[in-house]
């Protein structure tokens, strides 16, 4: 069988497939990229059908008309494919921009010149029949407009392919397979068109681009019809990412590895008085903010204006698809009012606590004097009860002050802490108002490796275990109360400790309060110690569990552990 029927059939089949794809896509009109996809495949259908029919026409005038129609589809397909790629990948506004309108001038002008070519000959000249393989192929000399129009079309199609492939790389497996097929399948037709344009090969008059489009259309049909490419278009994700940043009320800036401003959202523009002119300048210079681009959360200050504003800055690395660091994304949160309110509350608390402590110390002194000079046992018992309540209030004030300092410590960065010396320094009854016995009978046992180190907030860690130790001693009426702290090992990235005592156990109502995480007027604990310990464990990113019985209480404490903490590990731990 000769080659000529297959050349005609291939072109007509491409036209039929293009028409079918346009018909199928009509149900998705209005979705990102779909309208331009329809325009693209219709242009391809015009190109392919006219090209296929023309191969059967040997009459010169009609053959010239069909060649002209074929060129209109060929020129229009490139710009339409670029519009599809922009719209489909979430860059739809660019299609409606002045820049894209300027790009469209080239193909529009080329089509106009193609239709009027007999008048000026700027597109081609010397049109003549030059049959090969038994079909009506033609030859002519390309004019300057032909090269401009066709090369611009190849350039537009290449740009569209790059946009689609970029989506495959950037947005992961949800879009990767379909967009890779669609993007890569456009490469072969572009090569075929370039081969014909530059008259390469033994038969330069043979134009095979429309036939080469067949696998491209087959892959397009598979991606669109079978894989739901249109339903899962990446414009939703790209638009969501852009709007999420633009609409965010917190300032967001992007800086490169040299801390120079690359991008910012409207909130950052208004907060730091940024404009397009500041792009490329050091961010600390244009925003007067002390910025350190180490991925973490920290407090920074904007020094501009009569009063400094304070922000927490959350810094995250920005990497390219290969994993190389290319910059940082910084999200600021204004905490000026919150910190000022906390400072005001702190001052008020300190003043109230100072006055309360002074007044209660006076009351305590008068009660002591009254007890010494009273002979009535009933009144003496009442006064001792008053003395006990005063001591409770004073101890509560001291615990509140310690808790306040612990909260303030969370604003600092964690440090590497040697755990055994810290725990060994917890003396029974180390707070002045504590009711822990200090007669030497109390025993604090430490079973922790000497080399164990954790990166943590030292004050918070100390407060956590100090309250557990104090609770273990305070409620133990035995002759020689004992509290033991032991390091169990690592579990799921957590350092696990146990604090055990031989006391009477924690009452059920106390444990119920801790489990609920709040106190109510009808159900409250008798002290702050265990609540503070629980709060400290949570603040460190850990957790705490209580196992209490008549023979004592064992408290399991889990806090985040650095990887080097394994050197002091005793044994592996399996956590439920």
Q: What is the DSSP string of 325-350?
A: EEEEEEEEEE-HHHHHHHHHHHHHHH
Maximum CA extent, the chain: 137
Give the mean pLDDT of 421-446: 66
In this predicted structure, what is the pLDDT of residue 300? 52
Beta strands 297-302; 309-319: pairing state: antiparallel
Higher pLDDT pick, 175 / 93: 93
Domain end call among 173, 204, 237: 237
Burial category of 93 from C-beta neighbours within 10 Å (exposed 0-12, middle 13-18, buried 19 and up): exposed
In this predicted structure, what is the pLDDT of residue 118? 92
Tokens of residue 91, six digits:
């860059």
Strand partners of residue 554: 500, 547
Q: What is the pLDDT of residues 277-331, one digit of tens each?
A: 888 888 777 666 666 655 454 555 554 444 556 777 778 887 765 667 777 888 8
Burial category of 27 from C-beta neighbours within 10 Å (exposed 0-12, middle 13-18, buried 19 and up): exposed
In this predicted structure, what is the pLDDT of residue 348? 58
Judgement on whether residues 220 and 258 belong to the same structural domain of the protein:
no
In this predicted structure, what is the pLDDT of residue 434? 47
- Structurally, how many domains does the chain consist of? 4
Judgement on whether residues 206 and 258 belong to the same structural domain of the protein:
no
From residue 314, how far is each of 143, 219, 250, 261, 294 by CA, in Å?
A: 59, 44, 11, 16, 9
Which range, of 8-22, 261-275, 338-352, 363-377, averages the lowest pLDDT? 338-352
Asked whether residue 52 is domain-assigned, the answer is yes
In this predicted structure, what is the pLDDT of residue 246? 64
CATH code, domain with 34 = 1.20.1070
pLDDT band at 370 (very low <50, low <70, confident <90, very high): confident
Q: Does residue 451 contact residue 568 with C-beta atoms inside 8 Å? A: yes
Asked whether residue 242 is domain-assigned, the answer is no
- Angle CA 80–81–83, to nearest 5: 65
Residue from 490, 423, 452 nearest 567 by CA: 452
Q: Of 224-228, 376-380, 555-559, which has the strongest mean pLDDT? A: 555-559
Residue 402: other Cβ atoms inside 10 A: 18
CATH code, domain with 305 = 3.30.450.20
Judgement on whether residues 190 and 229 belong to the same structural domain of the protein:
yes
Give the mean pLDDT of 520-537: 65
**What whole-number distance in Å separates Cα of residue 165 and Cα of residue 167?**
5
Q: What is the DSSP string of 159-208?
A: HHHHHHHHHHHHSTHHHHHHHHHHHHHTHHHHHHHHHHHTT-SS-TT---
In this predicted structure, what is the pLDDT of residue 435? 46
CATH code, domain with 574 = 3.30.565.10
Q: Does residue 220 contact residue 22 with C-beta atoms inside 8 Å? A: no
Answer whether residue 15 shows pLDDT above 70: yes
pLDDT band at 98 (very low <50, low <70, confident <90, very high): very high
Residue with tokens 């879009």: 175
Q: What is the pLDDT of residues 130-178, one digit of tens each?
A: 998 888 999 999 999 999 998 998 899 889 888 877 776 665 454 455 5
Q: Does residue 572 contact residue 495 with C-beta atoms inside 8 Å? A: no
In this predicted structure, what is the pLDDT of residue 421? 92
**What whole-number distance in Å separates Cα of residue 22 and Cα of residue 12?**
15
Judgement on whether residues 469 and 530 belong to the same structural domain of the protein:
yes
In this predicted structure, what is the pLDDT of residue 515? 67
Asked whether residue 343 is domain-assigned, the answer is yes
Which range, of 64-68, 252-256, 483-487, averages the lowest pLDDT? 252-256
Q: Does residue 219 contact residue 228 with C-beta atoms inside 8 Å? A: no
Asked whether residue 509 is domain-assigned, the answer is yes
**What whole-number distance in Å separates Cα of residue 468 and Cα of residue 498?**
10
Q: What is the pLDDT of residues 437-490, one digit of tens each?
A: 455 567 889 999 999 999 988 888 998 999 899 888 877 777 788 899 999 999
Higher pLDDT pick, 244 / 158: 158
Of all helices (H) and strands (E), which one includes residue 127?
strand 124-129
Give the mean pLDDT of 350-358: 63
Residue 247: other Cβ atoms inside 10 A: 10
Answer whether residue 49 shows pLDDT above 90: yes
Q: What is the pLDDT of residues 111-120, one digit of tens each?
A: 999 999 999 9
Judgement on whether residues 212 and 171 belong to the same structural domain of the protein:
yes
- Angle CA 295–300–302, to nearest 5: 135
Q: What is the pLDDT of residues 195-243, one digit of tens each?
A: 887 778 788 888 888 888 787 777 777 766 655 566 555 555 555 555 5
Higher pLDDT pick, 437 / 349: 349
Residue from 175, 183, 181 nearest 237 by CA: 175
Domain end call among 310, 334, 358: 334
Judgement on whether residues 257 and 381 belong to the same structural domain of the protein:
no
Strand partners of residue 572: 490
**What whole-number distance in Å separates Cα of residue 558 and Cα of residue 210?**
68
Strand partners of residue 494: 491, 560
Asked whether residue 387 is domain-assigned, the answer is yes
Q: Does residue 48 contact residue 15 with C-beta atoms inside 8 Å? A: yes
Give the mean pLDDT of 19-42: 88
Judgement on whether residues 326 and 373 belong to the same structural domain of the protein:
no
Judgement on whether residues 387 and 472 belong to the same structural domain of the protein:
no
**What whole-number distance in Å separates Cα of residue 39 and Cα of residue 219?**
18
In this predicted structure, what is the pLDDT of residue 144? 93
Judgement on whether residues 403 and 419 belong to the same structural domain of the protein:
no
Answer whether residue 431 shows pLDDT above 50: no
Asked whether residue 424 is domain-assigned, the answer is yes
Judgement on whether residues 293 and 308 belong to the same structural domain of the protein:
yes
Higher pLDDT pick, 399 / 458: 458
**What whole-number distance in Å separates Cα of residue 174 and Cα of residue 52?**
38
Higher pLDDT pick, 102 / 195: 102
Q: What is the average pLDDT score of the chain?
A: 77
Q: Residue 301 is part of which domain span?
A: 248-334
Residue environment code for 216-245, b if the CB has 16+ CB neighbours within 10 A, otherwise e: bbebbbbbbeeeebbeebbbebbeeeeeeb
Domain end call among 385, 409, 433: 409
Tokens of residue 385, six digits:
């009860």
In this predicted structure, what is the pLDDT of residue 123? 94
Judgement on whether residues 378 and 289 belong to the same structural domain of the protein:
no
Tokens of residue 393, six digits:
């209030």
Asked whether residue 243 is domain-assigned, the answer is no
pLDDT band at 63 (very low <50, low <70, confident <90, very high): very high
Judgement on whether residues 265 and 382 belong to the same structural domain of the protein:
no
In this predicted structure, what is the pLDDT of residue 426? 84
pLDDT band at 432 (very low <50, low <70, confident <90, very high): very low
In this predicted structure, what is the pLDDT of residue 444? 87
Asked whether residue 559 is domain-assigned, the answer is yes
Q: Does residue 542 contact residue 429 with C-beta atoms inside 8 Å? A: no
pLDDT band at 521 (very low <50, low <70, confident <90, very high): very low
């Amino acid at each position: 069988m000769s080659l000529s029927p297959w050349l005609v059939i291939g072109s007509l089949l491409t036209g039929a497939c293009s028409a079918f794809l346009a018909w199928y896509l009509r149900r998705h009109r209005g979705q990102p990229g779909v309208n331009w996809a329809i325009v693209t495949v219709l242009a391809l259908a015009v190109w392919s059908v006219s090209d296929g029919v023309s191969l059967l026409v040997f009459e010169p005038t009609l053959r010239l008309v069909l060649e002209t129609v074929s060129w209109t589809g060929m020129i229009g397909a490139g710009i339409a494919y670029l519009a599809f790629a922009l719209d489909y990948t979430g860059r739809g506004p660019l299609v409606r921009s002045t820049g894209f309108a300027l790009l469209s001038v080239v193909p529009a002008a080329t089509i106009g010149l193609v239709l009027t070519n007999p008048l000026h000959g700027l597109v081609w000249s010397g049109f003549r029949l030059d049959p090969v393989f038994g079909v009506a192929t033609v030859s002519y000399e390309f004019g300057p407009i032909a090269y401009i129009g066709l090369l611009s079309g190849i350039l537009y199609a290449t740009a569209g392919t790059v946009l689609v492939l970029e989506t495959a790389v950037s947005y992961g497996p949800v879009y990767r397979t379909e967009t890779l097929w669609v993007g890569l399948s456009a490469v072969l037709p572009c090569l075929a068109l370039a081969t014909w344009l530059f008259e390469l090969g033994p038969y330069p008059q043979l134009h095979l681009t429309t036939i080469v489009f067949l696998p491209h259309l087959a892959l397009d049909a598979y991606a669109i019809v079978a894989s739901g490419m249109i339903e899962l278009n990446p414009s939703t994700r790209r638009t969501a990412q852009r709007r999420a940043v633009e609409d965010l009320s917190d300032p967001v800036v992007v800086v490169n590895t040299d801390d120079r401003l690359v991008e910012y959202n409207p909130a950052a523009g208004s907060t730091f008085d940024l404009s397009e002119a500041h792009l490329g300048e050091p961010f600390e210079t244009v925003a007067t903010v002390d910025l350190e681009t180490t991925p973490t959360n920290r407090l920074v200050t904007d020094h501009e204006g009569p009063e400094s504003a304070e922000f927490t800055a959350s810094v995250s690395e920005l990497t390219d698809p290969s994993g190389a660091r290319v910059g940082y994304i910084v999200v600021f949160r204004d905490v000026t009012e919150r910190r000022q309110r906390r400072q005001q509350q702190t001052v008020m608390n300190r003043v109230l606590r100072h006055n309360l402590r002074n007044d209660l110390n006076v009351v305590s002194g008068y009660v002591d004097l009254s007890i010494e000079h009273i002979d009535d046992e009933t009144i003496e018992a009442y006064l001792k009860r008053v003395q006990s309540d005063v001591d409770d209030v004073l101890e509560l004030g001291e615990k509140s002050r310690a808790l306040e300092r612990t909260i303030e410590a969370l604003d600092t960065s964690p440090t590497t802490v040697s755990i055994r010396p810290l725990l060994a320094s917890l003396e029974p009854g180390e707070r002045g108002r504590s009711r822990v016995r200090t007669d030497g009978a109390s025993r604090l046992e430490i079973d922790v490796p000497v080399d164990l180190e954790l990166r943590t907030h030292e004050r918070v860690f100390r407060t956590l275990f100090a309250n557990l130790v104090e609770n273990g001693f305070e409620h133990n009426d035995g002759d020689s109360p004992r509290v033991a702290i032991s390091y169990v090992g690592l579990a799921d990235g957590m350092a696990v400790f146990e604090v055990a005592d031989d006391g009477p156990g924690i009452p059920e109502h106390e444990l119920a309060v801790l489990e609920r995480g709040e106190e109510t007027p009808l159900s409250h604990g008798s002290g702050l110690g265990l609540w503070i310990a629980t709060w400290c464990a949570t603040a460190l990113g850990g957790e705490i569990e209580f196992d209490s019985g008549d023979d004592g209480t064992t408290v399991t404490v889990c806090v985040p552990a650095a990887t080097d903490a394994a050197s002091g590990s005793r044994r592996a731990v399996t956590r439920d």
